[in-house]
Structure 1
Amino acid sequence: MGNEAGEWIIHGVTWDDPKCIHDVDEAVEYINRVGFLPLFKNEIPGFSLEERTVAEYWWSDDPVRDPWRWRIAIAKRHDVLYGKFFAKKAGFISKKWLPVFANYRRDGYDFDALFEDEKAPIKHKNIMDHFMENDAEIYSYELKKLAGFGKDGEKGFDGAITGLMMQTYLCNCDFRKRINQKGV
């Protein structure tokens, strides 16, 4: 996706193009076949979900054809990882390729050893400690509060989460909207 003359442009293909991915199942099959895939166009021509889908369907809110909605369905399935893995940008990694990414991105460290060797900041440690205490799944707004981020606390929660995703310690597994006390 690029911004050309102030207008956001999606670089896609036509529905009948042999490279076109038509639905979420085809997307998962393709990601598993190639191993990993950025969500949006990048420096490698043709290597993104954006460039293998029909541009007109992005943000159409059609759960069957909208690639923006597919990322939610893919994350919920848990058979392909979704997160900010590519130059702090979103994409997918197959479970088969996850160990390769983890070995490379973590340089052999589990998180505790990384922190002990002073190669991770305390804000990352606070996030990981609370993440692990909550059975490895927690709403981001809850994690933010528990880890001491927010109005009167640490700054840079989103950047810290992105950093942990880049190192493959975290990924998105669902997208749920927060519901207030009034049920809205």
Structure 2
Amino acid sequence: MDEKMQTGTMVNNYDEAVKLIEELGILPLASLIPDYPSLESVTPQTSWHSDTEQDPWKWRVRFPAEGKAAYGKFMKKKAVLVSPDWFPLVFNALRLGPSAEACYRDGLLSQAAWELYRLIEIEQGIDTRALRERAFMKAKEDKKAFDQAVVELQDALFIVISGVQAKVNADGEKNGWNSTAYETTTHEPKRDRRKQIIAGGIPCRAYPQVAGEMQRQSAGVFRKNIPCMSKAGNSFPALFLPIRPNCR
């Protein structure tokens, strides 16, 4: 099925993309879930990497920077955008365990990932350049291990991409490429609403395709039970129920 036909929507600017993320809850950056849209599929291909206000590649880091969506490689180690209302659901369904420390202690998280997590926890919003320097992984031969550890932490739902930071020279002038910045999942900047992870109270609604994908990734079982509430008029897709044992 054509993904553009799935939503009947073409997105031409940032504000329209924000509205679509709010409507869908979960929006992969590129094709990921069968018969389900992605940011790539609902935007004109000519807009990508155009370095204009209509460039979706620039939007991807603007969403988290403005608190419009969480962004990271959360599903199949692929980039996904998740709305603030939906993030608690995704976090509780797909996170690797109760904490990064517990997972490292149990052998579920690599040492490299654990060491990077501790650095990010100390310096929220740290960018890639600084993180590699703090972790003593600036050497060219360390780049692969660094990249794998960062993806491992995102896939485990322990860190998110918080935006980008510009490289500047001694005079404060931009000098080089922007660098991706990270923060821990449970860090709560004022712009964000991720404290719902703890508070609960999550809308129980999902497209069956997303629910099925989350069910497959989490082996059909929530790693932590969470409370939920339904909104008037929202139905519970049958495929969604097996992974939401507390939904009523």
The aligned counterpart of 1:137 is: 125
Q: Give the structure-2-normalised TM-score.
A: 0.61
Q: What is the aligned counterpart of 1:36 among 23, 26, 31?
A: 26
Q: In 2 relative to 1, CA 66–41 (structure 1 residues): closer, same or farther, beyond 3 Å?
A: same
Q: In 2 relative to 1, CA 107–172 (structure 1 residues): closer, same or farther, beyond 3 Å?
A: closer
CA-CA distance at 1:93 after TM superposition: 1.0
1:146 aligns with 2:134: yes
The aligned counterpart of 1:3 is: none
Runs of 4+ in structure 1 off by over 6 angstroms are none
Secondary structure of the 2:80 match is strand
The aligned counterpart of 1:61 is: 51
Within 5 Å, which residues of 2 pair with 1:10-159?
Answer: 18-63=8-53, 65-134=54-123, 136-151=124-139, 154=142, 156-159=145-148
Amino acid at match of 1:44: P
Distance 1:115 1:40 in 2: 30
- For residues 47-97 of structure 1, give each alpha carbon's deviation from its aligned partner in whole angstroms, at most 9, with x where no partner exists: 20111111221122111x211121132121123111222322222011222
Contact preservation (8 Å) 1:102, 1:167: no
Name whichever of 173-182 and 157-166 sits farther off: 173-182
What RMSD in Å do the two structures reach over aligned CA positions?
A: 2.5
Contact preservation (8 Å) 2:63, 2:71: yes
Amino acid at match of 1:113: A
Q: Which runs of 5+ in 1 are unaligned?
A: 1-10
Q: In 2 relative to 1, CA 58–119 (structure 1 residues): closer, same or farther, beyond 3 Å?
A: same
Say how many residue pairs are matched. 170
Distance 2:35 2:140 in 1: 44
Distance 2:83 2:90 in 1: 10
Q: Give the structure-1-normalised TM-score.
A: 0.80
